[in-house]
Amino acid sequence: MIIKSAEFVKSSGKWQDCPLPDLPEYAFIGRSNVGKSSLINGMLHRKDLAKTSQTPGKTQLINHFLINENWYLTDLPGYGYARVSKSLRKDFEKLITNYILQRKNLVNLFVLIDSRHAPQKIDLEFIEWCGENGIPFSIVFTKADKLKPAVAVANVEHYQNELLKAWEDLPETYLTSAEKREGTDEILKFITKTNEFLHKNHVNFD
């Protein structure tokens, strides 16, 4: 897919304030600092469209971007950010889970996982929650440039084996680097294919 246009639409503090759900929407989710905003920029070939930071907890609202005037990409706040109060963390979790459960036009969630780490409980629990709630999702491993290629691949396999303990089938998986812009075209390809399918089948979200 060629990115002809990518514009920031708005930031919303709750799902009810998001743009009208009239176009297919794809969202990036994952732990704070996993690289959601960076990967969005890498994928769209835009430097600073989504705000990034070395300090976890940068993205605190639901940010909508309109791509090629025909689909939305959403940058969500990270979950599991330890350095905020428990009640604030609960507020973020609520914001995220309400958005995921209520957003009518959400077609697929990309769950980002840091490729450097062994499977973490918080991510596995989130993935399980997606399954329980019938949320379509893919898994995107991030920051692959920080590892030797063979180690990155081995970590992905290890993760998949962990998932196979609970899942019969594995979701689509991508190994990416925002820094090197790797794996992002594959994600765009998936989005193109899905948009074409929705169009062909006259799916609208009203």
Binding residues (CB under 6 A) for ligand GTP: these are 32-38, 52-54, 56-59, 77-78, 142-143, 145-146, 177-179
- What are the strands, taking DSSP E only, across the chain? 6-12, 25-30, 62-67, 71-75, 106-114, 137-142, 173-175
Taking the C-alpha atoms of residue 158 and residue 145, their distance in angstroms, rounded to an integer, is: 18
CA-wise closest residue to 143 among 34, 53, 28: 34
Residue 143 interacts, among ligand GTP, Mg ion, none and using kind-specific CB cut-offs from 5 to 8 Å, with ligand GTP
Shortest Å, Cβ 204 to ligand GTP? 30
What part of residues 39-58 is at the interface with Mg ion (CB under 5 A)? 58
- Size of the residue set binding Mg ion (CB under 5 A): 4
Write phi, then psi, for 199 (nearest 5 degrees): -65, -45
What's at 87, amino acid-wise?
Answer: S
Identify which of residues 71 and 81 has a Cβ nearer to Mg ion in the complex.
81
Q: Is 59 in the site for Mg ion (CB under 5 A)?
A: yes
- From residue 148, give the alpha-carbon distance in Å to each of 34, 96, 196: 18, 33, 36
CA-wise closest residue to 49 among 67, 31, 69, 33: 67
Shortest Å, Cβ 48 to ligand GTP? 11
Identify which of residues 41 and 195 has a Cβ nearer to Mg ion in the complex.
41
Residue 146 interacts, among ligand GTP, Mg ion, none and using kind-specific CB cut-offs from 5 to 8 Å, with ligand GTP
Identify which of residues 59 and 115 has a Cβ nearer to Mg ion in the complex.
59
Identify which of residues 91 and 179 has a Cβ nearer to ligand GTP in the complex.
179
Helix, strand and coil content of the chain, in percent to the nearest 5, comes to 35, 20, 40
Shortest Å, Cβ 139 to ligand GTP? 15
Q: Where does this chain bind Mg ion (CB under 5 A)?
A: 36-37, 58-59
